């Protein structure tokens, strides 16, 4: 399998949003993100930079209503793009994890690109909003990404006080876990990492 083939573009159009996402799993962490939500852009840039995936996202949504539809649909589209780029998931390490510190905050992320979506979220916030963004939307983003990328994803904030730091540690931790999991295993680069022979 040529590494230069691990790219994908997915478009999603609904009455609420229009989203286009492109990923290169073997990139260098380059990004071009425009969702109309400043904080979400910042998190997508962190995801790209620390996973080393190249990510391009263009999104237009009904932000005059709220940020829910755009946030969720960005995650759906990006998750689908990652799944498409992974293809059969042949040769990948499959598992990744990270302890992600940011100042006073520490979060733990564990990831299995199993093709069987599951999501655990043990993160609490002390404020309803970060800037203009509802903090409850971060759970929606991670859940939608997990289910559409075909990942088992566990995220737990172990401790922290600053809500911005808590969210950012989760995104950076996911990025580091993804970087591990999508890597090609040099010892098994032609095999699907499962006793079932399929993911």
pLDDT at residue number 74: 98
pLDDT at residue number 1: 40
CB 149 within 8 A of CB 130: no
C-alpha 30 chain-centroid distance: 15
Domain 3-182 adopts which CATH fold? Ribosomal Protein S5; domain 2 (3.30.230)
The neighbouring-strand residues paired with 13 are 18
User: Which of these, 81, 82, 86, 146, lies nearest to 117 by C-alpha position?
Assistant: 146
DSSP state, 34? E
pTM above 0.85, yes or no: yes
Residues 15 and 32: their CA atoms lie apart, in Å, by: 24
pLDDT at residue number 4: 55
Strand 31-34 to 54-61 pairing: parallel
Q: Phi/psi class of residue 126: alpha, beta or left (left: φ > 0; alpha: ψ in -120 to 50)? A: alpha
pLDDT tens digits in sequence order for the chain, 199 residues long:
444 589 999 999 999 999 999 999 999 999 999 999 999 999 999 999 999 999 999 999 999 999 999 999 999 999 999 999 999 999 999 999 999 999 999 999 999 999 999 999 999 999 999 988 999 999 999 999 999 999 999 999 999 999 999 999 999 999 999 999 999 999 988 888 888 888 8
């Amino acid at each position: 399998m040529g590494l230069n083939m691990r790219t994908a573009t997915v478009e999603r159009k609904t009455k609420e949003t229009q989203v286009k996402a492109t990923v290169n799993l073997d990139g260098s962490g380059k990004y071009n993100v425009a969702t109309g939500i400043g904080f979400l852009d910042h998190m997508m840039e962190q995801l790209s930079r620390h996973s080393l995936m190249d990510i391009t996202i263009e999104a237009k949504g009904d932000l005059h209503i709220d940020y829910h539809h755009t946030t969720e649909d960005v995650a759906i589209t990006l998750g689908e793009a990652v799944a498409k780029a992974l293809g059969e998931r042949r040769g990948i390490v499959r598992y990744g994890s990270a302890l992600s510190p940011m100042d006073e905050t520490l979060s733990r992320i564990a990831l299995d690109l199993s093709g069987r979506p599951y999501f655990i979220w043990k993160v609490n916030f002390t404020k309803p909003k970060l800037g203009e963004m509802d903090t409850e939307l971060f759970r929606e983003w991670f859940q939608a990404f997990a289910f559409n990328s075909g990942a088992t994803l566990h995220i737990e904030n172990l401790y922290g006080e600053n809500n911005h730091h808590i969210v950012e540690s989760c995104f950076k931790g996911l990025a580091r876990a993804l970087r591990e999991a999508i890597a090609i295993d040099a010892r098994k680069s032609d095999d699907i990492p499962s006793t079932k022979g399929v993911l």
